[in-house]
Each structure stands twice: as C-alpha cells, then as structure tokens.
Amino acid sequence: MDCEVLAIGTELLLGQVVDTNSAWIGERLAAAGIPCYQQTKVGDNHGRIVAALWAALGRGSDVICCGGLGPTQDDITREAIAEVMQVPLRRDPDLVARLKERFAGREIPEMNYKQADVPVGASPILASAGTAPGLACPVGEKVIYAVPGVPSEMREMLVNAVVPDLVKRSGQPATIRSRFLRVWGLTESKVAEVVAPRVAALEAPGSNTTIAFLASATEGVRVRITAHASGVDAGRVAVQALDKEEAELRALLGEAVGGVDDEGLEVVVGRLLAESGLRLAVAESLTGGLVAARLTSVPGASTWFAGGIVSYGEDVKRSLLGVGPGPVVSEDAAGEMAVGVKDLLNADIGLSLTGVAGPTSQDDQPVGTVFVGLADDKGRSGEPGRRSSKADVLQLSLRGDRQLVRQRATTQALDLLRRNLMEQHFRTER
C-alpha cells in the first residue's frame, strides 16, 4: 500500500502560500510505514482536480487531498471527488446540525451549508476545530481522504483518523525511518563516489535500506539513510538498520561526517569545545557577525564562547585587534585578527574571517576571496600551554553573490574549527 498527496489551491501554484502541509503529511505517512511516492499540487479547477485524482488512483495509490473543503465558490474538492466516485452529493443532516451548533446564536451564511454535502458512499471525518469535516471516500479498493488546508484541522484529522485507517487497511504495523549524516568539506559527487560501495551493497535483493544525497549551497551535503521495517517490532528493527548503516558510512567518510539530523556545525563545534574545556573568540569582517550569531543560537554557548568582535572597519582591525600595516584582506591580517581577538577576550582559540564579499574587489583581491585565521595556545610544534604569535590561515575562493559568499565563508570557518578541534581531541585521546 502507498498513498499520494494532492495539495489543492491556486495560491500554492502562484507562490502566495508555501505548501508545508504536504511535507508534514509525508513525515506522518513515513512514520506509519506508508510509502508516499508522489506529491502533486493542483489549482482550484474542477477538471484538473478530477484528472489528478484519476492519475493517482491509476497508479494504484490511495490519495490524501488537502484543501478545497471551505464554503466559498472556489472550494470544489467535494464536487471533484463525487465525479470520480460517479455519485451525487447529499446533504448530511448530522453535519447540518453540527454546523448550527457551531454557529449557535449567529446566522449561518447560506454558503456554509455546502460543508455538509457528502458524496454518496463517503464518510465524514470530524475534528474539534473548524466547520469543514473531512471525507473518507472509497473508490473501488482505494480510498480518497479529503482534509482541510488549515494546518491545525488537517493535522488533527490525519493523526486521529486518516493514518490509523491507512495502517489498519495495510494489514500490519510498519515504519519508515530516516537519519541524516551531515558531511562537510566534500562535494556531493565526491561523497557519492566515496560511499558507492554501500549504495551498491544496499541494492541487493531483500535490502530495506537506501541511501540518498541532498546537497546545499551553504551547508555541505546531507546523506540520508532510510530504513523500512514491518511487524510488531518495526521501530526497533528500523533503528538497528540505521545504526548499522551509519557505522558503515562513518568508516568510509571519516572526519568529514559532523552532525546527525538537525545538528548544524555550530552544535558540533559547541560540543567539541565543551568536551575539551576550551573557550572560543571570533573576529569577523566580511561575515559581519554571522559566525557569532550561529554559535550563540546553541543553548549553553556562554560556557564555551567568550564573544565576538565585528571588526568591519579597517581602523578597528588595527586599533583593537593589532593588525599591522598592509592590506586588511590578506593572510597576515587574518592571522593577526585571530591572535588579537583570542588575546583580547582571553580565550583559548581565536577564529577570524576577512575577505571580499562583493560586489567589487578590494586590496587587489577578487570577489569571493576569503582568509580564515585560527589561533590557539599551542606552539607550532603542537606543544600545549605556549602562547602562539602566529595563526594557521586558510585561503578560500568562494563563488556566488554577496550573501552566498558570506554564508559559505561562515560555514567554511566553522568546519575548519571543527576539524581542528577533532584533531586536538584525537591527540589528547592518544
């Protein structure tokens, strides 16, 4: 059994409303082990809704229609479903009574009564909120479930009625669980190349685990592991499959793997700093505080983040951070900024960023040139406890417009810090 989602509303096609309902429904279906292979959007047009319903049913799927159950002229989901069922609409007296109860003490607009119309053979789905009931509409062996577009009403009906009915009709409990490994420092194609042996292994007959790749312009690559399990112990079996595959992928990808699921770089960096008992200070030029903003979004950041200096002006770099003569977009300047902010804020590690976000070049450096400095209290030989007068500096050439360069620089700097902290942790462990 699988179930498709049909989101109805011209506003979705015009971009006036973002369709978050379909994503939420997909998550709930996956948790219940009901595959969702297709989601479709269609405007408020009777013929196109009917065609979309027939197309889904023709693929052998149940359908969840979301939207178009209101009282206005463009709410035509009921009529479209009735045509697909090849039955008329009838006005349900119980739903009429329910409407009158909802409008107690007020006049019911005549148009609201259409919300009591039900295709013959269908069953209403009631919710505690709203005036529009949902519908469960059998079409042969399949069912079209219609729910309101209002998120709170839709969610109540999905959780209390639609998903339980799908699970009951499927014949056995099941689940589809996913886990994301956050990978930084490698391109999507390189990640796919590295994990190709696992992709091939999971294509073997009988495997219920799959791997997919989701690239981001600013946040690296997410490797999604998905496990499908059925039976009374489906949840535990799926988690075991995810654990096994995560271990396989980590063995291939090594330190490129940082967070899991929603763990961003800032969370991983914070955890590593806390485990090492170190405090960080940041000096930002082109990123204008983006790094500090991400770090301070993590609860408890005050235990490992000393603070940040937005040294945007050249005079601030020189007077406050001790940047010497010469271009401020340079390897030397980035190193001096990292050392300067570390000493100024009495931190263990200083991280700095200077560069050219655009739209024009600076200090003879093209747009996209970024220098990231990293200074700590270890000597160049790796001896702890010796204050360093130099910093390690990474030069980057980033593509994109001004905002994209700034965001990518932020991510690259945090990843450089993450890898440095992992190296220190490994050295300490040994």
Residue ranges of domains in the chain, CATH in brackets = 3-170 (3.40.980.10), 174-260 (3.30.70.2860), 265-429 (3.90.950.20)
For residue 377, pLDDT over 80 is answered with: no
For residue 345, pLDDT over 80 is answered with: yes
pLDDT band at 128 (very low <50, low <70, confident <90, very high): confident
Among the listed residues 49, 37, 52, the one whose alpha carbon sits nearest the alpha carbon of residue 3: 37
Q: Which amino acid is at 234?
A: A
Q: What are phi and psi of 343, to 5 degrees?
A: -70, -40
> Residue 381: which residues within 8 A CB-CB, separation 6 or more?
none
Ramachandran quadrant class, 86 (left: phi over 0; alpha: psi -120 to 50; beta: rest): left
* Predicted structure pTM score: 0.80
CA distance 277 to 275: 6
Q: What does the pLDDT read at residue 363?
A: 86
Please say whether the beta carbons of 282 and 352 come within 8 A. Answer: yes
Question: Residue 306: helix, strand or coil by DSSP?
Answer: strand
Segment 108-136 mean pLDDT: 91
Please say whether the beta carbons of 35 and 59 come within 8 A. Answer: no
Ramachandran quadrant class, 220 (left: phi over 0; alpha: psi -120 to 50; beta: rest): left
CA distance 272 to 269: 5
The two tokens of residue 311 are 């040294």
Handedness of CA 262, 266, 270, 276 (dihedral sign): positive
For residue 110, pLDDT over 80 is answered with: yes
Among the listed residues 377, 404, 410, 390, the one whose alpha carbon sits nearest the alpha carbon of residue 285: 410
Q: What is the pLDDT of residues 196-207, one digit of tens each?
A: 999 999 998 889
Among the listed residues 363, 337, 240, 349, the one whose alpha carbon sits nearest the alpha carbon of residue 285: 337
382 compared with 26, residue with greater pLDDT: 26
Question: In what side-by-side order are the strands of the sheet with 369-376?
Answer: 305-310, 280-284, 349-355, 369-376, 392-397
Cis status of the peptide bond prior to 359, with omega within 30 of 0: yes
